[in-house]
Amino acid sequence: MARYIVGLSGGVDSSAVCSLLLEEGHEVYACVLTMQHEPCCVPGRKALERARTLSQALGITLVERDVSELFARSVVSQFVDEYACGRTPNPCIVCNASIKFAALDHVAAELGCDCIATGHYVGCTRISPHRSLAVRGDDPIKDQSYFLYRVDPRVLSRCRFPLASVNKADTRAYASQRKLSAAEAKDSTGVCFAPGGDYHEIIRLLRPELLEPGPIVSEEGELLGEHAGIACYTIGQRKGLGLSGGPWFITHIDPVTRVITVAHGTQPHARSFDLSDVVLWDELDRDGGCLVQTHYRAKARPAHVTIVGSSALVELDEGSTLAADGQSCVLYRNNTVIGGGYIRLQA
């Protein structure tokens, strides 16, 4: 029997993990993180109420931690700043590494817990006595290894992910059978710290100038229309441009002039691109070979990666892939996460 701290969001996945660990005979504590106050409350009143209700029903201690100041500084500010630079950020990646797993590791030490557990659909493999790496979950639709590439392997070595080999339908069925209060809770969508999940609202609150309209031009410089603010768009976007004679795809966003450039007919793909703020948790193959995934739903592709300091050059072995400035490129060895960095296509 071990003592666990479970990251409890109030959703069905983390609720099921608490119940599973109890059934295995472990001592379970739960930790819920309040990351921001109204009007942008995470996990939100309903989620917090579900976490409290579940803890009472299961007879486990719930630890509540307010990390809102750090969250605002490390996640929200960076999120808005990236849009101001014409990039498309992924705040979940920053949050997992800087907030969630760091906080859970701290609470685990406070309570003398042996292990950390969460409801992520991801596996873990040990590469040394005190270092582990994330591994793709068995369910390819729910696999969340992409979002954990910046989490310190020393923290991952203390983690267990009970849903690694489970699909979402089975999790809901289990939660329903056990009459867990979150069994029918909806999956979280959108940006969790934005009112109503709409990230435009948080930008409107903090940087309204990023939603000022500007011109949409062709690659030849022809004025085609007007956009609703650079923060509403991303490289490769096709829908919502309001242009006739399409399809049109965004190829460049200029944060200074607020000009959005589009190309006709072909989605912009890259054969090679740069990465910044690179983390590498395990060695690449001798020739720099690995698999790279450039966004959450992307297919991992064979590539060669040349790392210089905290930067890297990614060169695909064949073909091309959609690479949006600001998104993460995650490096895999087969199904194991070995590192990654932020895609940089423009200054």
Distance from C-alpha of 58 to C-alpha of 25, rounded to nearest angstrom? 13
Task: Give strand ranges (E) for the chain.
Answer: 3-7, 27-34, 61-66, 115-117, 122-128, 131-136, 159-160, 214-218, 223-227, 248-253, 260-264, 272-280, 289-293, 301-308, 311-316, 328-333, 336-344
Residue 123 within a domain: yes
CA–CA separation, 186 and 182 (whole Å): 9
Q: Which of 195, 221, 253 is the last residue of a domain?
A: 195
What percent of the residues of the chain are helix, what percent strand, and what percent coil, each to the nearest 5? 30, 30, 40
Domain end residue (candidates: 264, 282, 307): 264
CB 245 within 8 A of CB 212: no
Domain membership of residue 64 (yes or no) is yes
Instruction: Name the token pair of 274.
Output: 């740069």
Tell me, yes or no, whether 108 and 174 share the same domain. yes
Confidence of residue 239 (pLDDT cuts 50, 70, 90): very high
The answer to whether 30 and 63 have CB atoms below 8 angstroms apart is yes
Helix (H, G, I), strand (E, B) or coil at 307: strand
pLDDT band at 229 (very low <50, low <70, confident <90, very high): very high
pLDDT(187) > 80: no
Q: Give me the catalytic one of 124, 192, 290, 329.
A: 192
On whether residue 335 sits in a domain, the answer given is yes
Residues 149 and 37 in one domain: yes
The CATH number for 43's domain is: 3.40.50.620
Is residue 41 domain-shared with residue 168, that is, in the same domain? yes
> Is there a single domain that holds both residue 283 and residue 254?
no
- Contacts within 8 Å (CB) and 24+ apart, 171-180: 171/12, 171/13, 171/16, 172/12, 174/16, 174/19, 174/20, 175/12, 175/15, 175/16, 175/19, 178/16, 178/19, 180/12, 180/15, 180/16, 180/19, 180/54, 180/57
Give Cβ neighbours of residue 29 (< 8 Å, ≥ 6 apart): 3, 4, 5, 6, 60, 61, 62, 63, 107, 111, 113
Q: Are residues 77 and 95 in the same domain?
A: yes
Active-site position among 18, 40, 92, 95:
95
pLDDT value of residue 347: 52
pLDDT digits (tens, 9 = 90+) for 314-346: 999 999 998 999 999 999 999 999 999 999 986
Q: Are residues 116 and 230 in the same domain?
A: no
Cβ neighbour number for residue 154 with a 10 Å cutoff: 12
**Is-catalytic flag, 95?**
yes
Residue 161 and residue 36 share a domain: yes
Last residue of a domain, one of 244, 264, 284: 264
In a domain, 204, yes or no: no
pLDDT score of 36: 66
Same structural domain, 47 and 93: yes
Residues 157 and 56 in one domain: yes
205 inside domain:
no
Structure confidence at residue 57 (pLDDT)? 92
Q: How far apart are CA 86 and CA 256, in angstroms?
A: 9
pLDDT of 38 strictly over 50 = no
Structural domain includes residue 203: no
Q: Using one digit for the tens of pLDDT, what is the confidence trace for 106-139?
A: 999 999 999 999 999 999 999 999 999 999 999 9
Q: How far is CA 263 from the centre of its chain?
A: 29
The whole-number pLDDT of residue 212 equals 95
Average pLDDT, the chain: 91
Same domain, 253 and 180: no
CA angle in degrees (0–180, nearest 5) for 90-267-249: 80
Number of structural domains (the chain) is 3
Provide the token pair at 6: 């479970």
Same domain, 48 and 161: yes
Beta-strand pair 328-333/289-293: antiparallel
CATH assignment of the domain containing 237: 2.30.30.280
What mean pLDDT is predicted for residues 83-100? 93
323: containing domain: 272-344
Q: Could you tell me the CATH number of the domain that includes residue 327? A: 2.40.30.10
pLDDT of 40 over the 80 cut: no
Q: Are residues 76 and 219 in the same domain?
A: no
Residue 191 domain-assigned (yes or no): yes
Is the whole-model pTM more than 0.75?
yes
In a domain, 200, yes or no: no
